[in-house]
Amino acid sequence: MTELTHKSIVDGWFREANDECFPGQAFTLKVEKILYQAHSEFQDILVFKSTTYGNVLVLDGIIQCTERDEFAYQEMITHIPLYLHKNPKRVLVIGGGDGGVVRELLKHDCLTTITQVEIDETVIKLAKKYFPGMSKGLDNPRVEIKLCDGFIYLQDLAQLSNQDKYDVIITDSSDPEGPAEAFFQESYFRLLKNALKDDDSLIITQTSENVWLNINYLKDLLKAAKSVFPNTKYCYTMVPTYTSGQLGLMVCSPNEKLDLRNPTRVPTKTEQEDLKYYNRDIHEASFVLPNWADKILNRS
């Protein structure tokens, strides 16, 4: 069998370098073995086993998750909006084919329906094979997977009654290139708002950037979101294998009175024991920014 190769792996090291997204810097991981490499209908996909972070999923040259630190992202993008909602029942996940968000959602017994919309079935299949700890909830009876474009799915939702819409929508997309580019525009936020059940509903999305990489992009993204959701705030999580070690999140609600920094509910003792990263203090602290960043994003 021919040994797999990939252009981002040279001399046994994976190198994430993208001058358009992350100018002037790069991130590397030592590779033990390439497990999968191919180009799906939508994107370049690489899975490799690293020497220190377990299996790693890479889409279009950018790390999406590693077995060692994925929970820091999955827990925050999931539990921030879930614990802000007083009684969530129906949740929509756009993207997230690796299954990490669904795994976290299933920790909430109050949820009756979890709909996941993923455009690339290959990602789901690879997650089940190489990331079983993340994908273990994808076959749960509370989970419905729809293989289609998330943007189009949201357009169709506009025709449904409120009872078929969602309490929380989580956008767990890849970066704004290729199939995920539409998820970072004002028109997308309008579709999200139309897919929410009522004013107590929330959305959260990964921002692709953090304050160290491209704060002006974040400022523009917040402006686009606030044109639709006046109650919009930026927060972040710490993930070593994301560029600069941080990833921004943006949480929004039609309810202007809801304090996004303070959970409406808190994990029970049993729920908290099942969480590695999220807790009430982390929730509140994730919205606290350094002075220079706070001035640009929240006071300009």
For tokens 């994430």, what's the residue?
16
**32, 58, 90, 224 from 228: Cα distances, Å:** 46, 32, 22, 7
- 69, 172, 175, 200: which is the annotated catalytic residue? 172
- Integer Cα distance of 222 and 230 in angstroms: 10
The sign of the torsion formed by the CA atoms of 207, 209, 212, 214 equals negative
Verify whether residue 172 is a known catalytic residue. Answer: yes
β-bridge pairing 168-172 and 202-206? parallel
Q: Indicate which residues carry an active-site annotation.
A: 172
